Amino acid sequence: MSESKRPYIILSAAMTIDGKIASKSGDSELSDEEDWQEVHKLRTKVDAILVGKNTINENPKLHIKYYTHEGYYRIVLDSNLTIPISSNVITYLPHLYPTIICTTENVSRERMKKYLEKKVTIIRAGKGARVDLFKLMAKLYERGIKSILLEGGGTVNWSFVKHGLIDEIRLTIAPWIVGGKEAINLVDGEGFAYMKDSLQFKLVSVKHRDNYVTLKYKR
Ligand SMILES: NC(=O)c1ccc[n+]([C@@H]2O[C@H](COP(=O)([O-])OP(=O)(O)OC[C@H]3O[C@@H](n4cnc5c(N)ncnc54)[C@H](OP(=O)(O)O)[C@@H]3O)[C@@H](O)[C@H]2O)c1
């Protein structure tokens, strides 16, 4: 796939000093008010926000609270179409934030019915166990989605890293250490075996206020 035929992808996350984006219980309350304002500002500038289905467990609205704006797509990767139909990403302001759920071709039309009735768009990408990201990115681009804010979690972040699908990173470091092998890392998955295979970025800016640091990187 040609690089220009996919959306520009910005990974955005808040993590602890020890690189966790959620504790072992799934608590991800790391951002303070000011950080949320910055994240929401970034949301006003993209065509879509993308998350994995486990990030829906906390029932986020994936909306913008602090600014006037024209909305964007909320995209959820959910290979087997399992997220609750009552999720905020489906029911909260769907006209402003239309929702796209991405699955595989293995999902039946029958299963899709109740989501389609809620005006959710379903994109089927690939026949594997999980959503095929290259196929998905091409389909999203065709729909006019030229920029995506990737808001995790760790499993989905790894898939984007593995496929080299990250152009920019905005990372806030919160001043805590939470530890735990079961806690969610910024990037989980199997990881690369060698540094030479890893994705490398250029540090573009460092901002700090109080005890928070925000880093911006580009490919
Ligand atoms: N601090 C922060 O900034 C921040 C941001 C976001 C999330 N979080 C936290 O992160 C946690 C969730 O992270 P998580 O790693 O458990 O899950 P996740 O990345 O949110 O979702 C992973 C799931 O997405 C589905 N998926 C579909 N296609 C995929 C693909 N191509 N690659 C990877 N996944 C695909 C898979 O389920 P299927 O196989 O069933 O499709 C997979 O298990 C939550 O606790 C959330 O609060 C924190």
Provide the residue-wise pLDDT of the chain in tens; the chain has 219 residues.
Answer: 445 599 999 999 999 999 999 999 999 999 999 999 999 999 999 999 999 999 999 999 999 999 999 999 999 999 999 999 999 999 999 999 999 999 999 999 999 999 999 999 999 999 999 999 999 999 999 999 999 999 999 999 999 999 999 999 999 999 999 999 999 999 999 999 999 999 999 999 999 999 999 999 999
Token representation of residue 36: 């949320």
DSSP states of 93-146? -TTTS-EEEEE-TTS-HHHHHHHHHTT-EEEE--SSSS--HHHHHHHHHHTT--
For the whole model, what pTM was predicted? 0.97
Q: Does residue 98 line the site of ligand 1, with CB under 6 A?
A: no
Q: Residue type for 196, please?
A: K
**Smallest CA separation from ligand 1 atom 22, residue:** 52
CB atoms near residue 60 (< 10 Å): 17
* Per-residue model confidence (pLDDT) at position 2: 44
**Smallest CA separation from ligand 1 atom 33, residue:** 156
- Ligand 1 centroid to 54 CA: how many Å? 5
CA 189 from centre of chain = 15
Q: Does residue 130 line the site of ligand 1, with CB under 6 A?
A: yes
CA 62/CA 217 separation, integer angstroms: 23
192: CB partners within 8 A, 6+ apart? 162, 198
**Smallest CA separation from ligand 1 atom 45, residue:** 26
Ligand 1 atom with least separation from CA of 152? 6
Task: Catalogue all structural domains in the chain, each as residue range(s) with its CATH number.
Answer: 3-218 (3.40.430.10)
Q: Does residue 136 line the site of ligand 1, with CB under 6 A?
A: no
Q: Does residue 78 line the site of ligand 1, with CB under 6 A?
A: yes
**Cα torsion angle, 38, 74, 170, 60, sign:** positive
Task: Name the β-bridge partners of 171.
Answer: 13, 215
- Ligand 1 centroid to 152 CA: how many Å? 6
* Per-residue model confidence (pLDDT) at position 1: 41
